[in-house]
Amino acid sequence: MKRSIPLAIVIILGFLFVGYVFIPHKISSDFYEWYMEWMKAMSPFGVILGIMSIIMTHTARIQHKVPNWQYSIVTLIAMIFTAYAGFAWGTQEGTPFMWLFKNVQMPMGATMFSLLAFYIASASYKAFRARSAEATVLLLAAIIVMLGQVPVGVSLFGEGINDITHWILNVPNLASKRGIALGVGLGMVATSLRILLGIERTYLGGGE
Amino acid sequence: MRKLLLIVLLFSFSIVLWANNSCIVKGLTVTDVPYDDGSGLLLKWEPLPKSCRIIEYRVYRGVSKDSLFYLGKIDVDPIVGVVGNEMQFSDNDFRPFVDLESPAKLKKEKGQSKDSPIYRSLPRNVSVVGPLLSKFSTLGIIDKDIFYYKTKKVIKNKELYAGLKTEEFEGIYANIIPGQAYYYTIIAVNEKGTYHPYAPIVKGISHPNLPEPVNSLYVKLIKDKSYLQYEFEMPLFTDGIGSFDFYILPKGKIAQFEKYKQFQKEYEEYIIKETKDPQNRPSPQPVENPAILINSVETSYPYPTPNFARIDLNDKTFVDKLKNNNIVLNESTLDNYYFIVSCRDYYGLEAFDISKNVNAIDSSALPIMPSMKVRDKPSDKGDMIELMIGRPIVYLTQINSDVKNKKKLTINYELLKNHIVKVKKVDFKFFDMSGKELGSVTEHYFDNIVRFTLPAEVGANNPFKVVFTIYTDQNNYKGETYLTQHVIYNEDLKQLKSDALILNNEHIMDYRYLILKKAKSVKNFQVTKRLSPLMNTFDDNIPYETSFFKGVADYDAKRGLFLFDSMIDLGYDENLQTTLITSLYLNDYTDNLKELLSDLTAKDDPNLQPEIDYYKSMLKMQEDVNILKEANGLLGKKRINFLKKYRENDKRTFIYYLVKTDGTAQFDLTENYIDDTHKNGEFFPEPDWFNMANLPMLIASLIFGILVLYYITIVKKGVNLYIRPIAGLEEIDNAIGRATEMGRPILFVPGLSGIDDVATLAALSILGHITKKAAEYDTKIIVPVCDYIVLPIAQQIVKEAHYEAGRPDSFDPGNVFFVADGQFAYVAGVNGVMIREKTATNFYLGMFYAEALLMTETGNSTGAIQISGSDALTQIPFFITTCDYTLIGEELYAASAYLAREALMLGTLKAQDYTKLLIIIFITVGTILSSFHFNFLINWFPAE
């Protein structure tokens, strides 16, 4: 029962939604809208799970005094205070909640994001080391594309570099991307079909 | 010391008080909205200085000074403040009055003292709201099924009503009415949420005005057809206009007409005075309008009314009317008359515009009408009717010259066609302005780009023209379409630019289409869409009826009900020239009518005769009209279902025609569209059971499904299928073993997507296999989760995997935890785990975005062995660069089957491979065919 009921729900609803894609009738779209309303109603309960998980994880860390447990206190206080600010003063412009969002969360997110530039440089270095024939091709393609994207490339090598860049991006690059996308599409369909037919059940928890 | 403290305190207090009072709204005025029917007031006030840091101005309204309720607000950016020295708020529309979200009880507004008259929204209490109903014009929005099946019958003061509780309405809206005094104030709220004191309360009374006249009136006499055509621009304010009236005025009668206009102004003043202060003053002496009314078009508010009229002067009605006034209209007499359009409101007030642009033309000067087709749109849910106008059109959008060779042109074009036309090819022929052919290009596949090099003898900046020949499917549009477009050199932009587009000697862009439609249930046509002449298809949305709109007339405090009429409008009956109506409660309705009739008859007052006649006609309608007789023969729910179906059918059945105009009354129009299957021209959108656009998808899915079943059967019979080794999956065991040997944990990141992403499901499937193996080796696995719905599923998978491995004791629910749903907050958390826990093996499986590299580079720096897998095309290169093994795209989806090695799973993998083979064959064949201009395969399986 523990497994068969969720499985039955997945299979029935799965086929109903497959039907929705092919059946434009009002009955079908009404069902979809009705389901989406339920989805909206159910989502907030999921947030509770997340909050409970954060509280349990961090209280356990504080209780067991694991290394760096002090950060858990900061996390919990930040969470409680942000939630309180939102409930007490609202979330519109000019409120403490918005102040926290603009002056704490956004800069911290931007800081993490800015690291990406350095990581890309480091990853590029690893990728473009000409250790083999394939890596050399990659290096050459990258140099051409980079030069094609900047004015100095055109002034050094003329308009031709632009054409080569476009060719690299639009022919071999696009062809391989589409090849992967095709495989991904089929993989998705195959996985969905395995789920719909009840062949794939591991997402329900464990194996058989 | 104490004194000093007291002084400081007093000083601080007075500063706070001053600061508070300096943010009170000043200069509030309430004036009547011009040109309206008396349902609008305009509030104006001075904005507060930026230093007040105001985030919103809240408007309050009441019918007395002692209780004002929240009406609406204007948001302001506290940093920028308000540009300008005046703020405005129009109270001229139906605004929320009371609904489910209204407070249960009367609540003072925030920051108000006990004696303040300022309240939050009106409470949803019938006893409080009910007495206010008569002070407003109200509109209750009721869900269709609640109206039909859940209303309660109420008889109050001998009137029959339907009643509903507040929460059963979707909302009740209210607008102000003429002559009623309303009181307004404004409260400014700053960014800290402080409500400043309210502005002095100001009174306002709205009243009806003369309507706004129409603009840019044009009149054309079509000589050979004897049509008189009017066209104008709609006024800005159209609320309250009941009809547009079309007149002819002999020029000799202009003085008399001016007197009539003067009378209109006097009549307006009289109405204003009577509205504000009814004293039964004598109305101004009526003056006869000397202009001859030749046509009148009732408005179809809220839908746009046609802004044109064609009057057939051969029509007997007009001939007689004009003859009686000694008017003969032809080219030579045209100058003897003024042509006038008036906007007439429901009070009989009229505003006029006299045409200064009158002339006579031949019908050959009228635009050439395109063909039109109307059909129920296929593959829809039954809410679209598709209109197709004219032939396909090609036009140039941009012309770019090569930097080095200016004569080498890259030309962007647009091909507009409707769904029933299949364009086979388009020829682009280039000519110089003298007509000499410069060359041609033929397009078989329409990628919106052609390349053409001008011949050597033609200058790079010389103008030229392009003649497009569009070859279409012979079954739909026989023959070809020819269009010509001029290309000129723009000196300012220093480049070639497309210019006039000509079809049938008409400059297409000089015209526009108006699509007019009329529901079976209404009397008049409405303008449903104004289309650019380039558009040759239009999907007319015919929504299903979901709500009823009813004026809330009364209330029943005892039962807590708002009351409204119980009538069902069944639409206009052209034969009977009346609107058919009946009640939800038939017997009570007829009894009520009879009772009212007997009461009125008993009074024996001749002034009541129109009322008596009306009630009699209503009674007769219930008994004599066939459709009502048929409905009334049914009982209870069956009757309501019948009426509901009839009403919806009539409301959603439409008749169409098309107008093509240049905006100066030089227009032509089609007859109401009919075809073989719709001989009465009525089109109803039927819902469809299959979306034909998805047929290729269905066929592909069926082929795939059949292949899956086939391979499952084969595998079950014991055939051993070869599955190519996937390095990333082969290495999973080694990676887990490494973590075990090092005595460090494993990190599993299931991506950023939710459970509705197939990539997440695939990742969770792999999580089960990995955890089981890790549990067998007693290695800790950490799963930080980004989506709170994924969290319990991941926890369950990890738990069950431990149980299956026979190591329930090693399962720690704290190892599967929620980090954050923000992308970079999550990365920060995961990177922290990697560094603190010194994970030996990292798995990144699922959907990733910009955070992928941040995680894998950190993992790389900690020396962990990393295995990744994603279908995110943009992130795969980063994974390949920074991880030891990467599952590219479909390998992620294959992983679960690959690891499980079950017959059923392997069957799907094999089927997947063969489907891919089929697709490759299909693409190859398609490429070859289209290279030789055989486009049928592309047309059979369109990309959209």
At A133-153, the pLDDT tens digits run 888 888 899 899 999 988 898
Say yes or no for a CB contact (<8 Å) between B854 and A190.
Answer: no
Three-class secondary structure assignment of B22-85: CCCCEEEEEEECCCCECCCEEEEEECCCHHHCEEEEEEEEEEECCEEEEEEEEECCCCCCCCCC
Say yes or no for a CB contact (<8 Å) between B828 and A108.
Answer: yes
SS3 A24: coil
Higher pLDDT, B165 or A89: B165
B53 has a pLDDT exceeding 70: yes
CA distance B639 to B585: 10
Domain assignment of residue A46, yes or no = yes
DSSP B186-249: EEEEETT--BPPPPPPEEEE--B-PPPPPEEEEEEEETTTTEEEEEEEPPS--TTEEEEEEEEE
β-strand B746-749 against B781-785: which pairing, if any?
parallel
Residue that finishes a domain, picked among A62, A89, A116: A89
Contact B471, B480 (CB under 8 A): yes
Residue B776 pLDDT grade (very low, low, confident, very high; cuts 50, 70, 90):
very high
Domain assignment of residue A136, yes or no = yes
Residue B477 pLDDT grade (very low, low, confident, very high; cuts 50, 70, 90):
low
Say yes or no for a CB contact (<8 Å) between A94 and B890.
Answer: no
Residue A208 pLDDT grade (very low, low, confident, very high; cuts 50, 70, 90):
very low
Average pLDDT, chain A: 88
The two tokens of residue B564 are 């409204």
Domain assignment of residue A105, yes or no = no
Domain assignment of residue A102, yes or no = no
Question: How close is the nearest chain B Cα to the Cα of A131, in Å?
Answer: 13
A46, A199, A207 ranked by CB distance to B904: nearest: A199
Do A5 and A82 belong together in one domain? Answer: yes
Domain assignment of residue A119, yes or no = no
At B748-760, the pLDDT tens digits run 999 999 988 999 9
Say yes or no for a CB contact (<8 Å) between A112 and B908.
Answer: no
Say yes or no for a CB contact (<8 Å) between B908 and A193.
Answer: yes
Task: Give backbone dihedrals phi and psi of B332, rounded to 5 degrees, phi first.
Answer: -80, -25
Share of chain B above pLDDT 70, in %: 97
At B682-736, the pLDDT tens digits run 999 999 999 998 998 899 889 988 998 898 888 888 888 888 888 889 999 999 9
Question: How close is the nearest chain A Cα to the Cα of B323, in Å?
Answer: 56
Do A84 and A148 belong together in one domain? Answer: no
Domain assignment of residue A112, yes or no = no
Do A83 and A132 belong together in one domain? Answer: no
Residue B133 pLDDT grade (very low, low, confident, very high; cuts 50, 70, 90):
very high
Task: Name the domain count of chain A.
Answer: 2
In this structure, what is the dihedral angle of CA atoms B130, B134, B136, B138, given to the nearest 10 degrees?
Answer: 60
At B599-615, the pLDDT tens digits run 999 988 888 898 999 99
Distances (CA, A) of B109 to B18, B74, B130, B374: 21, 17, 21, 55
CB contacts, 8 Å: A203 with chain B: 761, 764-765, 793, 797
Do A208 and A132 belong together in one domain? Answer: yes
ipTM summary value: 0.91
| Positive/negative CA dihedral, B633, B639, B641, B643 | positive
Residues B869-873 have a mean pLDDT of 92
Domain range spanning residue A64?
Answer: 1-89
Do A159 and A84 belong together in one domain? Answer: no
At B532-583, the pLDDT tens digits run 999 989 999 999 999 999 999 999 999 999 999 999 999 988 888 889 999 9
A22, A123, A207 ranked by CB distance to B853: nearest: A123
B688, B791, B851 ranked by CB distance to A24: nearest: B688
Task: Give backbone dihedrals phi and psi of B51, rounded to 5 degrees, phi first.
Answer: -65, -20
Residues 419-458 in B contacting A (C-alpha not used; CB under 8 Å): none
B687, B892, B915 ranked by CB distance to A26: nearest: B687
At B242-301, the pLDDT tens digits run 999 999 999 999 999 999 999 999 999 999 999 888 888 888 999 999 999 999 999 877
B528 has a pLDDT exceeding 90: yes
Residues 767-826 in B contacting A (C-alpha not used; CB under 8 Å): 767-769, 772, 785, 788-789, 791-793, 796-797, 799-801, 803-804, 814, 817-818, 821-825
Residue that finishes a domain, picked among A40, A66, A89: A89
Domain assignment of residue A7, yes or no = yes
Average pLDDT, chain B: 90
Do A140 and A193 belong together in one domain? Answer: yes
Residue that finishes a domain, picked among A89, A116, A141: A89
Residues B56-73 have a mean pLDDT of 95
Say yes or no for a CB contact (<8 Å) between A187 and B893.
Answer: yes
Domain assignment of residue A104, yes or no = no
- Candidate from B114-128, B439-453, B820-834, B904-918 with smallest mean pLDDT: B904-918
| Per-residue pLDDT at B479 | 61
Distances (CA, A) of B720 to A99, B713, B723: 63, 12, 9
Say yes or no for a CB contact (<8 Å) between A186 and B912.
Answer: yes
Which domains are seen in chain B, by residue range?
A: 25-135+170-205 (2.60.40.10), 215-365 (2.60.40.10), 371-542+654-688 (no CATH), 550-653 (no CATH), 690-720+902-944 (no CATH), 727-900 (3.40.50)
The two tokens of residue B233 are 């621009």
CB contacts, 8 Å: A57 with chain B: 814, 817-818
